[in-house]
Amino acid sequence: MSGSVNKVIIIGNCARDPETRNFANGGKVCNLTVVTNETWRDKQTGERKERAEFHKVAIFNEVIANNAERYLKKGSKVYVEGKLETRKWQDQSGQDRYSTEVTIRPFGGELTFLDPAGGGEDRQDSGRGFADPKHETAYRGQAPADDLDGDDLPF
């Protein structure tokens, strides 16, 4: 196959506070665990069921990592866009281990904080460094939502 896509989008809550590690070369990684929930109704019993899925997220983009470390905490709602990567490593006994995670690299991926304004600190900051959502929207080349009239919508 000549073309392919590796893109992951997750909307969920931080299962724990972010963990940041600094590397000897000056780089850093911020690790998040984002939990998503799936609910359904059992066809036989009618009982409501729920399952949680925990997603590992590794942020290698320094600006986004700094913002995540500064503003996120356990329970924060986030939008994560990145790619799925599997890395191989050896444990203390020399056994090969594998870890699959969503990665946000310096030129790929996004982290947006979805907590409502007024939830303590200025939590609207996205990974792109904007504190005001209007500026972030303008950056993406779209009109801010409050400037739209119902007659302007294409549907």
Please state the domain extents for the chain: 8-84+107-113
Residues 79 and 110: beta-carbon distance below 8 Å = yes
Q: How confident is the model at residue 121 (pLDDT cuts 50, 70, 90)?
A: very low
Q: Which two tokens stand for residue 78?
A: 């986030």
Residues 102 and 35: beta-carbon distance below 8 Å = no
Average pLDDT over residues 52-78: 97
List the beta bridge partners of residue 100. 86
Rounded to whole angstroms, how far apart are CA atoms 65 and 26?
A: 13
Q: Which residues of 102-111 are buried (b: 16+ CB within 10 A; e: fewer)?
A: bbbeeeebeb
Reported as a single tens digit per residue, the pLDDT across 12-44 is: 999 999 999 999 998 899 999 999 999 999 999
- CATH architecture observed for domain 8-84+107-113: Beta Barrel (2.40)
